[in-house]
Structure 1
């Protein structure tokens, strides 16, 4: 039989202590109380606890002293601080110092229960060694010094509910960092909702974020949950948060402060329990100076920041990532694994990778389809502005055109449907070209590849991707 979990309550107000004791007792928890720093320290040094709830203002000190003592001596003990109404600066300071979360007076009991439940989950969550076991997080693979430091900070931030701002260039893995913070934390069994703020039309933004009731506007044929409600209990990741228009920034700030949303067309607010992680590749401080980003919102989403390094600063990780991506391509398309020539390896080591990890993966996927004899050569990488002069790429001429499309005489444009969906349209052309080449060559794939002017590996890759095998 599992023993009951123990909670230390520190507050100088008897009524508050009694309220917290009753509430936590109903949650089947054993409570111990202290009215000041001195008595709290005695209890912390004499027994083990699963959670500490402490007021910030105590007769002989502050909750920050208790927090500092716990961080130094009992780092795995989560601490939630209780602050006076409107003391947001104090609450944010406690989060920066390592508090799990905070709650303001007068205490909202539902909010208190949520904090307690989330905090107690922390020590029940198996701790992953992300230095060694991060194969599920592609771009975070690495043993470089900067990546080991990043993983340590991710592990620490996963034990908090503080809003985290993730800084880093495009393609460096900001969403992977957010996902890992979520997965290692107490909300891992709840939704992780990533949102690209720059991809939502401004006229739909309020509905997408906060939801709407049926009939709220033309086309609202049924009620819809917004991102905040979908992420309830879990984590909402706001990628490219700098792209939010100012009007939406005001509404987002209010939701973060009130922990409630009002769906479009509704009169009542809906409480939401969501941890906010955000990211952008832009400089928010410059945007604040230009008047394009609200300073008050910046301080609410950037309680703690974390920097994701660009790939060119990660040294030995390039070779590790290259091996991982090539292995992944081989498994996905059930094709032989390829290797890199010495010249290709050197080129990757010296390349600046302006598109970071995402660019490396794309470069390798393209080279994987172009290479011959299971070896990626320098010319297969097709690196731009590379420090090593690339050899001229051989051009294979097709035997004859596969599809001969004549431009329309009236406007000299390629004939396409009026309601075109580009990806399916291009896929249909590729599918038809492959089918014609294979039929002409009696399904001899080597001959069909030659007719199409591509490598045999590229043909097999495309057939696999289009499910034509």
Structure 2
């Protein structure tokens, strides 16, 4: 079914799309798909071919590959926005990273598509661009951080990159959730590095590492004599991080009494040192992280609901390593390259060894994989990590924790069944209303559909 090019087109004219991609087959494919939908499409295989087209006619939408031979699509994005400020731009690449997504968004891109392109996803973006003819470019950033340690090109990680890119330029508090070892601090650092505060301090603190009184002293500071051993006055991390970002890891480990004091700081943007009657104004962006279910802690009275809403203006949920197993080869080679650089070694890993790694369970997530790669590299008899060496590590791990690998699938199955029954129960309570059910479960409607697909729940039918 063709699309008539309606809402975004001017005066009934066809919606004009420019494709800039050095891969001729992708250019032909995009041209065919867009033409079939009723759009007018011009294709350029280089920056040199694209520039004359931009001077020759106006485009409502441009689909730009980030890597254009020797040229950089992100740099061309700046030129395109200068020539045609109202043109909506969508960046495309097979090599997604938090930097490229953030630079795309900061440069004024409407969206970011990961290759291989999916027709439904592509057309959804095109239709959205058509519905908003006037692009609203975000102010470009002057500088960007060096490549971060966040590695992954899976769809779930692309969602994380998009969230980082959108939230980083704002002042909103962000709650980062995910199991231990998923990279919560790396995401927090990426948010800081792509924010206007990037020239100021990023201060991480693990709230679970300190008793309550010491945590208060670390964060709020203290005056001389405030407690035994306080021989001098000392500014806390809030004051030391003024103008920057404070990352509160394991926020779920704090006590309700501490949470009251933290809530006051978040609300009033001022702190009072222990032993002082004077309030000190602070300008600090707060990022928090947890590997616990805060909703459950709120219900049990262990976490304040008002603080939760203050900290979770935006929530970024990180996938476990098993949820993005397709990233394991990329991660394994990344960690090995880093090991080689630090140790002046030239260790490689063979493809069969990577396949074994991909088949394993990873309760410790990315951190566990990193540690295993380093151990394998240290003890590798040759300059290549083999499948046999990975199998030996796998067997040793199973022996160290009896039943780990064998029971992983059984345990996973039990947890999935519990999750399935809970979703079915909420759907019954909501009388099949999927939006209401998603709200009751505390997830987005899209996430409900994803879970339903994974757990074989028929959202269209009437399950008991």
Question: TM (normalized to structure 1)?
Answer: 0.54
Distance 1:294 1:245 in 2: 9
Once the two structures are TM-superposed, the CA of residue 203 in structure 1 deviates from its matched residue by 2.6
Query: What is the 5 A alignment of 1:262-411?
Result: 262-335=272-345, 337-381=346-390, 382-383=393-394, 384-385=397-398
* 3-state secondary structure, aligned to 1:323: helix
Q: Deviations over 1:421-449 (max 9, x none)?
A: xxxxxxxxxxxxxxxxxxxxxxxxxxxxx
Correspondence 1:191 to 2:176? no
Query: What is the 5 A alignment of 1:28-427?
Result: 73=134, 75-77=136-138, 123-126=140-143, 134=147, 136-137=148-149, 140-335=150-345, 337-381=346-390, 382-383=393-394, 384-385=397-398
* 3-state secondary structure, aligned to 1:315: helix
Distance 1:377 1:387 in 2: 20
Aligned 8 A contact 1:194 1:238 in 2: yes
* 3-state secondary structure, aligned to 1:314: helix
Distance 2:260 2:366 in 1: 34
Once the two structures are TM-superposed, the CA of residue 378 in structure 1 deviates from its matched residue by 3.9
Distance 1:210 1:348 in 2: 45
* 3-state secondary structure, aligned to 1:316: helix
* 3-state secondary structure, aligned to 1:279: strand
* 3-state secondary structure, aligned to 2:170: coil
Distance 2:317 2:335 in 1: 23
Aligned 8 A contact 1:159 1:185 in 2: yes
Once the two structures are TM-superposed, the CA of residue 209 in structure 1 deviates from its matched residue by 1.1
Distance 1:328 1:350 in 2: 23
Say what the alpha-carbon RMSD is for the aligned residues: 2.1
Once the two structures are TM-superposed, the CA of residue 123 in structure 1 deviates from its matched residue by 3.7
Query: What is the 5 A alignment of 1:2-17?
Result: none
Aligned 8 A contact 2:203 2:241 in 1: yes
Distance 2:323 2:158 in 1: 13
Distance 1:236 1:362 in 2: 27
Question: TM (normalized to structure 2)?
Answer: 0.55
Distance 1:72 1:168 in 2: 38
Q: Deviations over 1:236-264 (max 9, x none)?
A: 11110000011100000001011000001
* 3-state secondary structure, aligned to 1:277: strand
Aligned 8 A contact 1:125 1:185 in 2: no
Query: What is the 5 A alignment of 1:455-466?
Result: none
Distance 1:371 1:127 in 2: 37
Structure 2 portions without partners, runs of 5+: 1-85, 87-131, 399-403, 407-464
* 3-state secondary structure, aligned to 2:325: coil
Distance 1:290 1:125 in 2: 46
Once the two structures are TM-superposed, the CA of residue 175 in structure 1 deviates from its matched residue by 0.4
Once the two structures are TM-superposed, the CA of residue 288 in structure 1 deviates from its matched residue by 0.5
Distance 1:152 1:313 in 2: 18
Which has the higher Rg, Structure 1 or Structure 2? Answer: 1
Once the two structures are TM-superposed, the CA of residue 353 in structure 1 deviates from its matched residue by 1.0
* 3-state secondary structure, aligned to 1:228: helix
Q: Structure 1's 149 and 72: CA in aligned 2 closer, same or farther, altered over 3 A?
A: farther
Once the two structures are TM-superposed, the CA of residue 215 in structure 1 deviates from its matched residue by 2.3
* 3-state secondary structure, aligned to 1:232: coil
Distance 2:239 2:221 in 1: 8
Q: Deviations over 1:72-108 (max 9, x none)?
A: 955445xxxxxxxxxxxxxxxxxxxxxxxxxxxxxxx
Aligned 8 A contact 1:210 1:228 in 2: yes
* 3-state secondary structure, aligned to 2:196: coil
Q: Structure 1's 313 and 154: CA in aligned 2 closer, same or farther, altered over 3 A?
A: same
Aligned 8 A contact 1:370 1:380 in 2: no
